[in-house]
Structure 1
Amino acid sequence: MPTQHNPHPARRTEHPQSADSSPAITRAFALLSNGWNGLILMALAKGPADSAQIRERVPGISGRTLAQRLQELTAIDLITQDVRPGLSSRTRYALSPHGNAFLIPLAVLFLWAEDHLPASS
Structure 2
Amino acid sequence: MGKHTEAWPTELKVSGDRRTLRVTFKDGRSYALEAELLRVRSPSAEVQGHSPAQRVTVGGKADVAIADVVAVGNYAVRLVFDDGHSTGIFTWAFLSELGEAKDERWAEYVAELSQKGMSRTG
TM-score by length of 1: 0.28
Task: Give the greater-gyration-radius structure (CA).
Answer: 1
- Structure with more helix by fraction: 1
Higher relative contact order (CA 8 A, sep 6+): 2
